[in-house]
């Protein structure tokens, strides 16, 4: 019996560790779409590359696009050229649209909005989200010259800064910097592009690890932990009993004889 209880204890302990580690219970994160160069605006006939990153493995994901005219299609079929794990695109204005990664089972990655401009000026701003407190530089770029031009920068339609270098740097971005940006200079005005700012997730406190556990993992731990505690208590009680000296029991007949002798002595 004792050996059986010990086996159950070991089995439940192994399962409890398995639940705590979350082996096989967590859902992997979807793929991430990366853009190179990381810009949301391009001149026509420029090129850029898109790739799907899934914990270092791009297999099983494909780059998709919803163009401005509403056509959803896959890289290497109607547009772009697949080179290894990347999709290379030689841009024309009709390539403006939303790009993302998609798996065969229908999972989606993050999405980026790309604008291909047929004019003379674009705003070089990040296509991917920027992290709070990072430094970000926005450039008002003129296609026909390499010289810097004085540029006005706008956020949500309002002028925020004029820079003689044609570049505006935000040393440490915050959530308040998120918004719709554009620029203009003596050669023209750029389209607008949205800049997204993300806030890093707080580090969970080690003092309350249960708060960082997923609900399935928590339920698993509770279901396994309760029998484990019960088996441990049973083993402790049995162990204590085995080490306690047994009480000397008086046989029933002997006890009756001694009681009779006492009665006889009192009568005498």
Q: What is the pLDDT of residues 11-20, one digit of tens each?
A: 444 444 444 4
SS3 78: coil
Number of domains in the chain: 2
Asked if residues 140 and 190 have their Cβ atoms less than 8 Å apart, the reply is yes
- Alpha helices, DSSP H, located in the chain: 2-21, 215-243, 252-267
Q: Is 14 among the domain residues?
A: no
- pLDDT in the model for residue 59: 62
56 — pLDDT class (breaks 50, 70, 90): low
Asked if residues 109 and 33 have their Cβ atoms less than 8 Å apart, the reply is yes
Q: Calculate the average pLDDT of the chain.
A: 78
First and final C-alpha spacing in the chain: 55
Domain end marker among 167, 199, 231: 199
pTM above 0.85, yes or no: no
- CATH number for position 168: 2.60.40.10
Domain end marker among 90, 118, 146: 118
Any idea what the Cα angle at residue 226 is, between residues 221 and 230, rounded to 5°? 145
Domain end marker among 118, 143, 177: 118
Both tokens assigned to 63 = 């780059």
- DSSP assigned state of 147: S
129 — pLDDT class (breaks 50, 70, 90): very high
Q: Is 142 among the domain residues?
A: yes
Q: Is 39 among the domain residues?
A: yes
Distance separating alpha carbons of residues 181 and 158, to the nearest angstrom: 9
Containing structural domain, residue 173: 119-199
Q: 88 and 145: one domain?
A: no
Q: What is the pLDDT of residues 156-211, one digit of tens each?
A: 999 999 999 999 999 999 999 999 999 999 999 999 999 999 998 887 766 554 44
21 — pLDDT class (breaks 50, 70, 90): very low
Q: 113 and 123: one domain?
A: no
Q: Is 230 among the domain residues?
A: no
Residue 219 has pLDDT above 60, yes or no: no
């Amino acid at each position: 019996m004792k050996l059986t209880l010990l086996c159950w204890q070991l089995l439940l302990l192994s399962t409890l560790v398995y639940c705590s580690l979350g082996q096989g219970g967590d859902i992997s994160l979807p793929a991430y779409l990366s853009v190179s160069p990381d810009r949301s605006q391009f001149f026509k006939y420029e090129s850029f590359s898109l790739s799907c990153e899934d914990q270092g493995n791009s297999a099983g994901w494909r780059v998709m696009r919803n163009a401005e005219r509403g056509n959803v299609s896959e890289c290497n079929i109607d547009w772009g050229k697949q080179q290894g794990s990347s999709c290379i695109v030689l841009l024309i204005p009709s390539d403006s649209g939303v790009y993302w990664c998609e798996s065969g089972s229908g999972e989606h990655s993050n999405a980026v909005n790309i604008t291909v401009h047929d004019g003379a000026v674009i705003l070089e701003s990040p296509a991917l989200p920027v992290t709070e407190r990072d430094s970000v530089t926005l450039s008002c770029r003129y296609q026909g010259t390499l010289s810097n031009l004085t540029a006005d920068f706008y956020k949500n339609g309002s002028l925020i800064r004029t820079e003689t270098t044609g570049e505006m740097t935000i040393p440490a971005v915050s959530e308040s910097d998120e918004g719709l940006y554009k620029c203009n200079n003596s050669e023209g005005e750029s389209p607008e592009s949205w800049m997204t700012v993300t806030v890093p997730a707080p580090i969970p406190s080690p003092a309350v690890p249960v708060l960082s556990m997923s609900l399935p993992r928590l339920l698993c731990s509770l279901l396994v932990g309760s029998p484990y505690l019960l088996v441990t208590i049973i083993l402790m009680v049995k162990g204590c009993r085995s080490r306690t000296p047994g009480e000397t029991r008086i046989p029933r007949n002997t006890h009756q004889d001694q009681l009779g002798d006492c009665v006889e002595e009192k009568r005498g």
